[in-house]
Amino acid sequence: MRRSARAVTVWSSPPISLPGVDLTDARLWAQKWRWYERNSLPWNRLRIHYELARRQAFARWPLHGDVLEALRDGRLEIGPNVLFEPGVWLTAPPPGKIRIGGGTFLNLNVMVAAFELVEIGQHCMFANGCFITDANHRFDDPQRPVPWQGFTSRGPTRVGDNVWCGANVVITSGVTVGERCVIGANSVVTESIPSFSIAVGAPAHVVRTISYE
């Protein structure tokens, strides 16, 4: 007895195609998305909040940078009651370290970038758009694109306790800002500032010493 053959139709979805984007381009885009948007993945976002909660700190989303990796590796140290407003960016590729003391407040779009060490004391305030770093981009090789030349550093950057930085302050490599300083908005700190000073300008210079008499 012979069985009759029956035709079987197998339905399959057509490959996704975007005009002007081939498979190689799509894979490269996906690789970049996984890296740059990794903090927005629900499980990573939950992990970051967990790590912050363990340290009695809090972040309003989005929080950018290699935050989770640095927290788990011990390269990002955060004290209790630290608050990050939306858009804060913390980046510390190994072996870079960031230390932020308890009670410090980073407002909208503040960026901290560590090549070796950026240290921020307790109860500091950074207004919108501040940038604190211990590195500079190299640009000394005329044969290589600037983004490929890496970084140079004058040493760790340190900010003492109870420092208030106005909007868009930049604190550069190798600088120490002493405790209870006030740095005026839009200032660029290129040299160390003594404690209890008010400094303004680009480059920043001391205009007054704070007295508590």
The tens digit of pLDDT for each residue in 93-151 reads 999 999 999 999 999 999 999 999 999 999 999 999 999 999 999 999 999 999 999 99
Are 48 and 70 in contact, with CB atoms under 8 Å apart? no
Q: What does the mean pLDDT of the chain come to? A: 92
pTM of the model: 0.87
- pLDDT tens-digit readout, 181-202: 999 999 999 999 999 999 999 9
23-209 under CATH 3.60.15.10, yes or no? no
Distances (CA, A) of 51 to 65, 93, 133: 15, 18, 23
Are 104 and 122 in contact, with CB atoms under 8 Å apart? yes
Average pLDDT value for residue range 42-60: 97
- pLDDT tens-digit readout, 66-98: 999 999 999 999 999 999 999 999 999 999 999
> Amino acid letter at 164?
W
pLDDT given for residue 176 in this prediction: 98
Are 92 and 72 in contact, with CB atoms under 8 Å apart? no
Are 81 and 99 in contact, with CB atoms under 8 Å apart? no
Would you say how long the chain is, in residues?
Answer: 213
pLDDT given for residue 13 in this prediction: 45
Task: List the structure tokens of 147.
Answer: 């983004």
